[in-house]
Amino acid sequence: MSPTIFREGKYRFFFFSREEERIHVHVVSSEGEAKFWLEPTAALADYVHLNKRQLLRLQKIVENRKHEIISAWKQDFA
């Protein structure tokens, strides 16, 4: 199961339930995908087919909505 946390533009932000304990978020679009760790700070973990500009934009979105992502994570894993 992969609940969607939110969508922003062409990007879907989600996580896989019970994938791993460390808080992270996946981002996917038709152009590619990325994974960001959320703690201790938002950081790029992995990506496929996205350019530097896209990754920087996604990083800012993750940083700006970090609390929302963590809240959704904790609610799903409770």
pTM over 0.85: yes
Confidence of residue 14 (pLDDT cuts 50, 70, 90): very high
Q: What average pLDDT is seen over the chain?
A: 93
- Report pLDDT digits (tens) over 17-28: 777 888 999 999
The tens digit of pLDDT for each residue in 40-76 reads 999 999 999 999 999 999 999 999 999 999 999 988 8
**Which helix (H) or strand (E) is 45 found in, with range?**
strand 43-48
| Residues ≥6 apart with Cβ < 8 Å to 23 | 37, 38, 39, 69, 70, 73
Provide the pLDDT for residue 7. Answer: 98
Domain residue spans of the chain: 4-77
Nearest CA to 2 out of 21, 13, 16, 20 is that of 16
Question: Which residues are CB-contacts of 54 (< 8 A; sequence separation ≥ 6)?
Answer: 31, 32
DSSP state of 17: T
